[in-house]
């Protein structure tokens, strides 16, 4: 496993939609392993291939350490609840700054595994937040885009001032 360099905000690649994964092979599995190692080193609880400059729909989420690792290939939100929740979010591409984001409280996601098998999963709580956050990233939507203009400008100023 390799720790890959993470793109930093405002890199334009972070706002580019990712293409679907079409080949399910050893390279994809190795990339998922590298993403997991990179995420742990950052540290973070979720990462996408886009965070390391690879425009493919692949994300790794780990809420409770390596044993909880989940890999989602070509994930898409099929349904979202009308009930919402607020949760503090940040990004491995914008370390040191966070803010509360409001998102649907529950989602249903379809995705493929590393072998290409298709799955559907319903999630709530932190997993629902993470799935929406990472799928946004795969769609070219950076997390601060979900904030009001005022909050977004404040976060960007704070990040630039920190110089990370």
Rounded to 5 degrees, φ, ψ at 155 are -65, -45
Q: Which of 128, 57, 129, 145 is nearest to 93 (CA)?
A: 145
Is 102 a catalytic site residue?
A: no
Would you give the DSSP letter of residue 82?
S
What span, in angstroms and rounded, lies between the C-alpha atoms of 159 and 162?
5
Q: Are 145 and 132 in contact (CB under 8 A)?
A: no
- Residue in 56, 62, 89, 134 annotated catalytic: 134
- Tell whether the torsion through CA atoms of 131, 133, 135 and 138 is positive or negative: negative
Per DSSP, the three-state class of 100 is strand
The residues annotated with a catalytic role in the active site are 134
């Amino acid at each position: 496993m390799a720790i890959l360099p993470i793109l930093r905000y405002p890199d334009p690649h972070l706002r580019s939609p990712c293409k679907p994964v079409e080949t399910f092979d050893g390279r994809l599995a190795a990339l998922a392993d590298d993403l997991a190692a990179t995420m742990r080193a950052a540290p973070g609880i979720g990462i996408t291939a886009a965070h390391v400059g690879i425009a493919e729909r692949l994300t790794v989420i780990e809420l409770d350490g390596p044993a909880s690792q989940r890999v989602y290939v070509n994930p898409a939100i099929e349904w979202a609840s009308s009930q919402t929740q607020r949760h503090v979010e940040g990004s491995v591409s914008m370390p040191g700054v966070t803010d509360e984001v409001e998102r649907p409280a529950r989602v249903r996601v379809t995705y493929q595994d590393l072998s290409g098998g298709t799955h559907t999963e319903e999630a709530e709580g932190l997993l629902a937040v993470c799935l929406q956050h990472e799928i946004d990233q795969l769609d070219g939507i950076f997390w601060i885009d979900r904030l009001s203009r005022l909050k977004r400008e404040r976060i960007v100023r704070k990040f630039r001032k920190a110089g990370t």
